[in-house]
Amino acid sequence: MYLLDTNILSELIKKQPNPYLRSHLNSKPSNSLFTSSICVMELRFGSALRQDAEAFWLKITQEILKRVRVISIGFDEAVMAGDILASLQKRGQPIGIEDVLIASAALAHHLTLITANIRHFSKIENFIIENWLNPLG
């Protein structure tokens, strides 16, 4: 089971999405693909900044978000996010709050995070991440 990060979902909107990513996604059952409500927020933010905001958002919702299940940030995810933030702070390795919330959703639901942002997410302990944009992982 997989949680797709914003940069993975964004790749799918491109005119020519990464073929390695496409191959991975096509090999997975659709019911194994999730994203976080935080990723939805990030996609909406990026869309709202565009001249063609509404048309682009419609494309995102119809072509991307319809194909994944969205995990909301609730109590369990918030508690886990607080623990992650504290751990990173104690080690002097902070990352953005959005990434912490995305990670907490993946951890709380026992999902592998699919992201191209290995540098940030690799700072979180006991966390499985994969990069499906790079054949070397």
* Residue located via tokens 């979902």: 9
Residue 19, CA atoms < 13 Å, CB-side half-sphere = 0
Q: Is the pTM of this model over 0.85?
A: yes
pLDDT tens-digit map of 83-107: 999 999 999 999 999 999 999 999 9
**What is the radius of gyration, based on Cα positions, of the chain?**
15
pLDDT tens-digit map of 19-47: 999 999 999 999 999 999 999 999 999 99
Q: Where does 2-130 sit in CATH, by number?
A: 3.40.50.1010
Q: Is the model's pLDDT at 118 over the cut of 60? A: yes
Structure-block tokens of residue 135 = 């054949």
CA-CA-CA-CA dihedral for 87, 94, 37, 103, to nearest 10: -50
Residue ranges per structural domain of the chain: 2-130
